[in-house]
Amino acid sequence: MGNESVLAFEAFLVLVGFVAIGTVLWAIPVRLWVEATFSGVSVGIGTLVGMRLRKVSPAEIVRPLIAATKAGLDLDINALEAHYLAGGRVGRVVGALISADKASIELAFKQAAAIDLAGRDVFEAVQVSVNPKVINTPRVAAMAKDGIQLIAIARVTVRANINRLVGGAGEETILARVGEGIVSTIGSASSHKAVLENPDAISKTVLAKGLDAGTAFEILSIDIADVDVGKNIGAELQTDQAEADKRVAQARAEERRAMAVAQEQEMKALVGQMRAEVVKAEAQIPLAIADALRSGNLGVMDYMKYRNVQADTAMRRAIAGPDESDVDSGLE
């Protein structure tokens, strides 16, 4: 039993030793320290252990520092670690600093770190600054003064402005301003033919407006890639206006027709009323004759002569045919 206890204790000590060695190797990245030492970067063991304790990946700090040192840049390891703890991308920042140094672009570490923390890719910005970028605008439709629509596509060559990356507007603003300039230039042209004959006038006019003010880019050139003729907007507008005028005229004519019909009905009613009054007046004639006979103002012979005259008049009318005036008055 004594030997078994001793063996168990020795196995326990071996296990503890392995755990201790693993912990030391984890806390002290010996390979990384050797790599930094042979690269000419002075990094203490305590610094690497402190990074582990601060939950900082030593490789994310040391390897970019080695690249910067080999490129001839003098960077502070504490500044790199502080940028890492702030949520920055140390590798992209160091890569941007190296690229800027090789391209003779002034870029300090603080400025690069600020650009990176602002959410912009500082390494890509340096690349765009060295190698300008071409942005294609969407199809921009505008109408010249003669009413013809033109559809233009432009290619905008921009270069990143390092000093305005923080707080400067992006590509969307550039595209919006260029589109607005194209619409304004085409709209001020007297004829669409003038634009088609000289499309570079659009580029010159738009470029002269300083559209890159307040943006993170510098516009180098604006080139019109394509100009197509669209619809005849002026003719369509005139057609729509003529159609609207026709509808208004038809509505007014219908209004006048309705008023005429109403007036006609009123006149017919008035004519019927007048005819009724005539019939009423004619109905008084037999009563007047009877009253005259009773009073002795009219004799029988006089009445017979009156009847003969009526019969003679009716015969003459029958021979002559119906008269319009008689028909209208109801005296057929």
Neighbours of 132 (CB within 10 A): 15
Residues contacting 330, CB < 8 A, separation 6+: 275, 278, 279
Selection from 94, 102, 133, 92 nearest residue 215 by Cα: 133
- 133-235, what's its fold? Tetrahydropterin Synthase; Chain A (3.30.479)
pLDDT at 329: 46
pLDDT at 5: 66
- pLDDT tens digits along 202-211: 888 888 888 8
Q: Measuring CA to CA, how many Å separate 325 from each of 77, 264, 310, 330, 331?
A: 123, 19, 18, 8, 8
Is the separation of the CB atoms in 207 and 174 below 8 Å? no
pLDDT at 22: 56
Neighbours of 173 (CB within 10 A): 16
Q: Where are the domains of the chain?
A: 16-130, 133-235
Cα angle vertex 178, ends 172, 182, to 5°? 145
Selection from 60, 64, 30 nearest residue 45 by Cα: 30
pLDDT at 34: 77
- Ranges of the chain whose pLDDT falls below 50: 1, 324-332
Q: What does the radius of gyration of the chain's CA atoms come to, in whole angstroms?
A: 53
Q: Containing H/E element for 149?
A: strand 148-160
Is the separation of the CB atoms in 137 and 179 below 8 Å? yes
